[in-house]
Amino acid sequence: MLALVHDLKTPTFAQFNTLNMLKNGVFGNLNTEQKQMVCLTQESCRYMSNLIGNIMESYSYDYGQVPLVKSDFDIKELIFELCKETKTLCENNHQCYIIHNQSDVDYIYADKFQIRRVILNLLSNAITYGKNGSKIEITLVSDGSGIEFSVKNMGKYIQNSELVTLFDKFKKSKFSQINHTGTGLGLYVVKKIVEQHGGRVFARSEKDGCCTFGFEIPNVIKSDNKRCRSQLKSAS
């Protein structure tokens, strides 16, 4: 299955590049209508490429083929960096970030690149599916044995029956758009990354439309740089 999906990636990439050459006039100038059609076709190819990439990635996580490269890094600094990176998207929706820092821990021991992907995914979803003009609250908590990161926004109420399946692979529902390319793989990959760190993901939704998505991971590095190897507290 993985080999088949991999074989699909090369022709899709070739198609995208050929369309890009067409758009740039390599084979002759295009009129406005022709350029629009090429751009639309490019978007379809980009969608397909993302879909194939996500399927390949999900199988890689399923079979333990994505090793973690852990290091000590400043989690607070990473959060502020990603807030700056997504600031324009936030402002376009007339939204704003509110950060609640309830952690006395700066450094954690984890794969920075993968944790960055997790946080960016959660922030992007909060912006995209939050109401215009609303606040997006980011909370970082540490109890000395692990950290908890969460993002809260005002969107649509999600019933518990839907919440428990949002992180499932290929799960389709009326909230499938929350997952990248509608395949259910965006949040599924988030879940696999967090679980690979020995943690867990969670999601909550209130009747007023307040939705919270987040994760917990252990192995916090205290301010004196001594690692605390305690396990996560039991999920309530």
Q: What is the pLDDT of residues 114-171, one digit of tens each?
A: 999 899 989 988 998 889 989 999 999 987 688 999 999 998 888 888 887 888 876 5
DSSP 30-98: --HHHHHHHHHHHHHHHHHHHHHHHHHHHHHHHTT------EEEEHHHHHHHHHHHTHHHHHHTT-EEE
Distance CA 8, CA 85 (A): 32
Instruction: Characterize the bridge pairing of strands 135-142 and 96-102.
Output: parallel
User: Rounded mean pLDDT of 49-67?
Assistant: 69
* Domain topology for 71-228: Heat Shock Protein 90 (3.30.565)
Q: What percent of the chain has pLDDT over 90?
A: 32
pTM comes to 0.69
Distance CA 60, CA 72 (A): 25
Smallest CA-to-CA distance from 86 within 52, 51, 130 is with 130
Q: Which amino acid is at 138?
A: I
Decide: 68 and 111 in contact? Cβ < 8 Å: yes
Query: Is 214 in a helix, a strand, or coil?
Result: strand
Order of all β-strands in the sheet with 96-102: 96-102, 135-142, 146-154, 210-218, 200-205
Tokens of residue 233, six digits: 């507290």
State pLDDT tens for residues 31-57: 988 888 888 888 778 777 766 776 766
Any idea where the domains of the chain sit in the sequence? 2-62, 71-228
Tokens of residue 109, six digits: 């021991």
